[in-house]
Structures are given as structure tokens and as C-alpha cells.
Amino acid sequence: MQRGRAAHRVQLTANFMRAVLRAMLYAGLLALGYWSGFSAHRDYSLLMMDDGAELARRSRAKPAKSTEEPADPAADPAVAKPDPTPATTNAPPAKAKAAKKAASAKPETASEETEETASIHLSRRVSSLYVHLVGYTFGLAVSFLGLGLVAAQDFGHLLKHGFGKEVSYVNDKAARAAAYEQAEQVAMRGQHHEAIKLLQAILVKHPDHTHSLLRIAELYDKDLQDFPRAAQQYEKLLEKPLPAEQWGWIAIRLANIYSGKLAQPQTALKILQRLAVDYPETQAGGKALKRLAMIDSAGLNEDTKREV
């Protein structure tokens, strides 16, 4: 008894630890999903702001500079002022004009360089935001997928233990059909015992699959000629809710095995009488009635009947 209690405590501890780990898994997946979703929303908002700033920057077009140089007051005689310097000394004004143009060109060049640097930084920032956005979106998808799988597994266990039903994520009919087809292929290769094992595996999961039960009986009957086992399988088939015509022909075959191969005419007679009473409207039932009439007309005693 002490060993049983100790094993029960170990089982309870294992169940508790499993539940704790399950809760931690849920919490981790939820945290990953929340963090990924929040980060993706944040980076998407920043990305939209940066894209808008870039568009605004490009939309601000500068006014085109005139190719015509401003008129030189000194060259216009209408607005020209008297030059106190002699006409022969005009070199110094030309130098002053060139220096003035160079000074006016420096701020424009500096502003263009600043704008180009800002555009490069903005492009890098936008690229980085795109990469982060893709990563966070992937993390969000992984968290949702993990939560879905874990929740589906727990829901299946809940149905199994709480309602006596187990959720299968594979179509049972498709899996059963594939297993039956595999058994048929094995039987076609002459591996009859292996085919019977495959069919019996189907019956473990689907006890009412009459096709597998009938195929096992046929393999024992026609291929292996193991008539005692064939009779056992046919007997099991007669206990299933089969269509009337199919039930009748299986009964006829079973009666033939008992009367001929197994030399049990009394058992065969009982099967024929049951067929004649339960399904007289079927073709097999009509055949059973004819055989029973022949037996009665011959006046055979049940102890001497060898053939039915």
C-alpha cells in the first residue's frame, strides 16, 4: 500500500509539473505574440512617418535660378555713378565681383551637402525599419501558430477525458482505406498472413469494419484453406448488422464449410434453418428453403446428414 501511495504522489507531482510547464509555455507564447505585435505596430508607424517626411522633402522643389546675371550697375550708364578712380585702374572692381560671387555660392553648396547627408540617413533608417518589421511579423506568426497547436492538443485531451471522445486531426476513413489498400497489395503478393495482420490491426481501431472481417475470412477460406478459422470469421460476420442479401450468402458459404470441409452437418442445418426463417425473401433464403425441402423429402435423419 505504501508503494501505491508513493507511486500516486509521484504521478501527482509529474502532473503538476506538466501543468506548470504548460502554463509557462502559454505565457511565453502570449508574451512573444504581444511583444512582436506591439513592436511591429510601432515600427510600422515610424516607417509611415519617415516615408511621409521623405515625400515632403522631395516635394519641396527649389525655385530655379535665373541664368541671366544681374545687371552691373557700373556697366549701365543710366544708373552708373561717377567713379572717382581713374579709368585705367578697373582691375580691383573685377576681383571684388569674383570674391562676392564665390562668397554667395558657399552657403548653397553647404546646404546641398547637408540635405544629401540627411537623405542618406533617412534611407538607412527606413531600410532598418523594414527589416525589423519583417522580423516582428514573423515572430507574431510563430507565436500564433504555436498557441494554435498547443490549444488544439489540449482541447483534444479535454474531449477525450471529459467527454469520452478523442479528436483526430487525420481523417479516420482515409487512413482506414489506405490501410485496407495496403493489406490488399500485400495479399496480391502472396503474403496472406501479413495481410491478415494488417486487417486485424484495422479491426482493433474499427471493430465494425465488416470489409476487413470479410476479407480475413476469404483469405483463410480460399487462399490458405484454413477452414476452421474461416468458419470462425464467418460466424463473427453473421453477428454484424449486414444487409439481408449479404448475410444470406455468407450463411450459405458457412453452411457449405460445415457440411463439407468440417463434416458438421448438424451445424450447417441450423444455419440454413435460421436463414430460411429470418431472410426467406432473399435469393440465399430461397436457396436455403430448397435445400431444406430436399432434405425433408429424402427423409434424412439429422444423425445421418452429411451433405447439405
When mean pLDDT is compared across 50-59, 85-94, 99-108, the lowest value belongs to: 85-94
Looking at residue 158, what is its pLDDT? 64
Residue 164 has pLDDT above 70, yes or no: no
The Cα diameter of the chain in Å comes to 165
pLDDT digits (tens, 9 = 90+) for 115-132: 677 677 777 777 787 788
Give residue-wise pLDDT tens across range 46-76: 777 766 565 555 555 444 444 444 445 444 4
How buried is residue 269: exposed, middle or buried, by Cβ count under 10 Å (0-12/13-18/19+)?
A: buried
DSSP result, 37-79 = HHHHHHHHHHHHHHHHHHHHHHH-PPPPPPSSPPPPTTT-TTT
Percent of the chain scored above 70 by pLDDT?
67
Query: Mean pLDDT of all residues in the chain?
Result: 77
User: Does residue 279 contact residue 248 with C-beta atoms inside 8 Å?
Assistant: yes
In this model, does residue 98 exceed pLDDT 70? no
66 or 161, greater pLDDT: 161
Specify the higher pLDDT residue, 173 or 273.
273
What is the per-residue pLDDT across 222-259, written as a single tens digit (0 to 9) for each? 999 999 999 999 999 999 999 999 999 999 999 999 99
Compute the average pLDDT of residues 171-200. Answer: 91
d(CA 108, CA 113): 9
Which pLDDT band, with edges at 50, 70 and 90, does 88 fall under? very low
DSSP 93-141: HHHHHHHHHHHHHHHHHHHHHHHHHHHHHHHHHHHHHHHHHHHHHHHHH
Q: How far is residue 158 CA from its own chain's centroid?
A: 21
Which band of pLDDT confidence, cut at 50, 70 and 90, is reported for residue 213? Answer: very high
Q: How far apart are CA 262 and CA 255, in angstroms?
A: 10
CA pair distance 297, 203, nearest whole angstrom:
43
Cα dihedral sign for 197, 201, 207, 212?
A: negative
pLDDT tens, residue by residue, 3-13: 556 666 777 78
Task: Mention every residue, 6+ apart, whose C-beta is less than 8 A from residue 43.
Answer: 129, 132, 133, 136
Range picked from 74-78, 271-275, 302-306 for highest mean pLDDT: 271-275
Q: How many residues does the chain have?
A: 308
Q: Count other Cβ atoms within 10 Å, centred on residue 50.
A: 15
Instruction: Record the pTM.
Output: 0.46
